[in-house]
Structure 1
Amino acid sequence: MTSAADPRHPLRPRLRRPVWASRNYSLLTAAAFVTSLGSQGALIAAAFAVLESGGDGGDVGLVAAARTLPLVLFLLIGGAVADRLPRHRVMVTANALNFLSQGAFAALVLLGEPRLWQMMLLTALGGTGQAFFSPAAEGMLMSSVEGEQAGRAFAVFRMAMQGAAVGGAALGGAMVAVIGPGWVLAADAAAFAVAGSLRSFLDVSHIPRREPGGGLLADLREGWVEVSGRPWLWRIVLQFSVANAVVAAADAVYGPLVARDHLGGAGPWGLALGFFGAGTVAGALLMTHWKPRRLLLAGTLCVFPLALPSAALAVPVPIGVLCAVMFLTGVTLEVFGVSWMTALHQEIPEHKLSRVSAYDWFGSVSLVPLTTALAGPAEDAFGRTPSLWGCTVLVVLVTAAVLCVPDVRDLTRRTKPVARRTPTGDTDRGSKDTETDTAADTEADRGLVG
Structure 2
Amino acid sequence: MHSYRQDLHLLRDRRFALLLTARTISMLGSSFAPVALAFGILRLPGATSTTLSVVLTAEALPMVLFMLVGGVIADRFPRHRVMMIGEWTNALAFFALAAMLFTGWTPLPALATAAAISGIAIALLFPALQGIIPEVVPPDRLQAGNALLGLGANSSRIAGAVLGGATVTLVGGAWALATSGLLFAVAGVCISLLRLTPVQKSSKSHSVIKDLREGWREFASRQWLWVVVAQFAIMLMAMQAAHGVLGPTLAEQELGGAPAWTAVLTGEAVGTIVGVAVALRLRPRRPIFVATLLTIPTALPYLLLGLSAPLWSVVAAAVVLGICFDVFGVLWQTTMQREIPAEALSRVSSYDALGSLMFGPIGLMLAGPVAGAIGPKPALIGCAVIVVGVSVIAALAPGVRRLKAPQSVATP
| Residues 131-146 of structure 1 mapped to structure 2, 5 A cutoff | 131-146=123-138
- Any gaps of 5 or more consecutive residues in structure 1? 2-16, 417-441, 445-450
Residue pair 2:131, 2:342 contacting (<8 A) in 1 also: no
Aligned to 1:120: 112
In structure 2, the residue corresponding to 1:149 is in which secondary structure? helix
Aligned to 2:229: 237
Over aligned residues, Cα RMSD in angstroms? 1.9
Residue pair 1:45, 1:181 contacting (<8 A) in 2 also: yes
Question: How far apart are 1:411 and its partner, in Å?
Answer: 1.7
CA distance 1:19–1:288, change in 2 (3 Å): closer
- Rounded Cα–Cα distance in structure 1 between residues aligned with 2:334 and 2:191: 26
Residue pair 2:233, 2:356 contacting (<8 A) in 1 also: yes
* Match among 333, 357, 360 for residue 349 of structure 2: 357
| Residues 317-396 of structure 1 mapped to structure 2, 5 A cutoff | 317-396=309-388
Kindly indicate whether residue 16 of structure 2 is the aligned counterpart of residue 25 of structure 1: yes
CA distance 1:361–1:103, change in 2 (3 Å): same
- Could you say which structure has the larger radius of gyration? 1
Give the structure with the higher percent helix.
Answer: 2
Aligned to 2:295: 303
Cα deviation code 1:269-301 (max 9, x no counterpart): 112101101111111211111211121221111
Question: How far apart are 1:257 and its partner, in Å?
Answer: 1.0
- Rounded Cα–Cα distance in structure 1 between residues aligned with 2:167 and 2:114: 21
- How many residue pairs get aligned? The number is 404
Kindly indicate whether residue 56 of structure 2 is the aligned counterpart of residue 56 of structure 1: no
Residue pair 2:143, 2:331 contacting (<8 A) in 1 also: no
* Match among 285, 291, 296 for residue 293 of structure 1: 285
Aligned to 2:74: 82
Question: What amino acid is aligned across from residue 176 of structure 1 in structure 2?
Answer: V
Question: How far apart are 1:43 and its partner, in Å?
Answer: 1.4
- Rounded Cα–Cα distance in structure 2 between residues aligned with 1:347 and 1:88: 22
* Match among 93, 96, 103 for residue 101 of structure 1: 93
- Rounded Cα–Cα distance in structure 2 between residues aligned with 1:19 and 1:44: 33
Residue pair 2:143, 2:334 contacting (<8 A) in 1 also: no
Question: What amino acid is aligned across from residue 111 of structure 1 in structure 2?
Answer: T
Residue pair 2:295, 2:328 contacting (<8 A) in 1 also: yes
CA distance 1:153–1:232, change in 2 (3 Å): closer
Aligned to 1:7: none
Question: What amino acid is aligned across from residue 85 of structure 2 in structure 1?
Answer: T
CA distance 1:406–1:114, change in 2 (3 Å): same
Question: How far apart are 1:394 and its partner, in Å?
Answer: 0.9
Residue pair 2:284, 2:410 contacting (<8 A) in 1 also: no
Residue pair 1:176, 1:267 contacting (<8 A) in 2 also: no
CA distance 1:301–1:191, change in 2 (3 Å): same
Aligned to 2:260: 268
Aligned to 2:196: 204
Question: How far apart are 1:215 and its partner, in Å?
Answer: 2.2
Aligned to 1:43: 34
Question: What amino acid is aligned across from residue 29 of structure 1 in structure 2?
Answer: L
In structure 2, the residue corresponding to 1:288 is in which secondary structure? helix
- Rounded Cα–Cα distance in structure 2 between residues aligned with 1:332 and 1:205: 35
Residue pair 1:302, 1:333 contacting (<8 A) in 2 also: yes
Residue pair 1:305, 1:328 contacting (<8 A) in 2 also: yes
CA distance 1:152–1:339, change in 2 (3 Å): closer
Cα deviation code 1:74-119 (max 9, x no counterpart): 0001100111122222122112211111101101101114122211
What's the % identity of the aligned pairs?
Answer: 36
Question: How far apart are 1:209 and its partner, in Å?
Answer: 5.0
CA distance 1:311–1:177, change in 2 (3 Å): same
Question: How far apart are 1:138 and its partner, in Å?
Answer: 2.0
TM-score norm. by structure 2 comes to 0.93
Runs of 4+ that moved beyond 4 A: none
CA distance 1:19–1:402, change in 2 (3 Å): closer
- Any gaps of 5 or more consecutive residues in structure 2? none
